[in-house]
Amino acid sequence: MARLRLKHVNAFVCSDGRVRHYFRRGGTKAIPLPGLPGSEEFMAAYGAALAAIPGNSAAEIGASRTSPGSVSALVVAYYKSSAWAALEADTRKTRWRIIERFRTEHGDKRVALLRKEHLEIMLAKIERPSAQRHWLKAIRGLLRAAVPSMRKDDPTAGIARIKMPKTRGHHTWTDAEVDQYRAHWPLGTQQRLVMEFALETTSRRGEVVRLGPQHVQNGRIRIARTHGSRDVDIPLTDDLQAAIDAMPKAHLTYIVTAYGKPRSKYGLGNDFAKWATAAGLPARCRMHGLKKGGMRRLAEDSATTHELMAVSGHRTLEMVERYTADADRLRLADQAMAKKRPAQNKNAGLTNFPTPAYKQSKKGL
């Protein structure tokens, strides 16, 4: 049976017998590779790690076999561009998978001959709107890199943004659900600390796994935000401070595996789902909903939109206004009902007099 040999990939056997694979290049941090070698999940992560290396010759794999002006040649050039390097690691991983599939199907075709109609046909074959959106973003980024060296215009420019079905998204945790989780997982457990981090700092799982003692100083915490959000420096709440104080400070990150290693954000998301279930919470209670729950609580405490942005790191008002709009409607409803009650009380002491009888005319007496 042939063995798959991949550059910069190292395998480690854990104490429980499981084999874990990491992408490790000299002088760089090891990157965990999910799945089995050769699987789509594994190869997507491996390709993204290769392409992320500045000036990496591996980003030019197949360059000698590509013809100038072809889709394959464009892909090679795009992986070396500043636009590709500027993307978040997770974004590169997602787009790499899409681009490589596009390259496999159309790599030998001329970029200059691609038309908007061709791309719309490809897009229509994708069933789910979310997958369509990811595909269009990835291919749009690729083809923009072709201007002006391989073509004069961007054929995706006339394709409208994919509209997603209206949904409330991730469930926003309620105060009762937060209390139930806290009652099950006491202070001093990682399960409790993860929840407090996500809720009290409105953080994503990829941000929570990075937090360590070096980020906490003088009653404040510094958080490197992901997904294009701004980094923040915010005060610690009493609940989060208590959760941090109850934990040992033996590692560079607060959240570690049973072997003292930093957790991956994917593993943490899966584990948190199990922790929430163990606390008796329904399946809708997942980790990202804690971020939304934290935003809701701040909005209900009269935090303004710009104050929320200073905590969450969001760069646009659009995302944050969802939370303030709901909170504002709640406050307005409360104010309206409060105005109604005094008006009712004002008339509480009045007696309803009976309607006077019909007065007969003198003529009829």
Query: Could you read off the pLDDT of 148-199 as tens digits, one per residue?
Result: 999 999 999 989 998 888 767 789 999 999 999 999 999 999 999 999 999 9
Mean pLDDT of 234-249: 94
Question: Do 312 and 182 fall within a single domain?
Answer: yes
**Angstrom distance (rounded) from CA 34 to CA 50:** 15
In terms of domains, do 32 and 124 share one?
A: yes
For 8-58, what is each residue's pLDDT tens digit? 888 877 766 677 888 887 666 678 887 777 676 677 677 777 766 655 544
CATH number, domain at 229?
1.10.443.10
CA distance 320 to 292: 10
Q: Which one of 144, 164, 195 terminates a domain? A: 144
Residue 164 counted as domain residue: no
Q: Are residues 308 and 189 in the same domain?
A: yes
290: in domain: yes
Spell out the residues 6+ positions from residue 113 whose beta carbon is closer than 8 angstroms to its own.
none
Average pLDDT over residues 319-346: 75
Q: Are residues 134 and 183 in the same domain?
A: no
Domain of residue 29, residue span = 9-144
Domain end among 305, 323, 341: 323
For residue 329, tell me if it sits in a domain. no
Given a contact cutoff of 8 angstroms between Cβ atoms, the answer to whether 165 and 130 are in contact is no
Is residue 152 situated within a structural domain? no
Return the percent helix, strand and coil in the chain, to nearest 5: 50, 5, 40
Query: For residue 18, what pLDDT is reported?
Result: 72
Classify residue 160: in a domain, yes or no.
no
| Residues 13 and 133 grouped into a single domain | yes
Q: What is the pTM of this model?
A: 0.66
Regarding whether 183 and 135 lie in a shared domain, the answer is: no
Interstrand relation of 220-223 and 216-217 (parallel, antiparallel or unpaired) = antiparallel
179 and 317 share a domain?
yes
Number of domains in the chain: 2
Q: Is residue 358 part of a domain?
A: no
pLDDT above 80 for 60: no
Residue 362 lies in a domain: no
Whether residue 247 contacts residue 2, with contact meaning beta carbons closer than 8 Å, is answered with: no
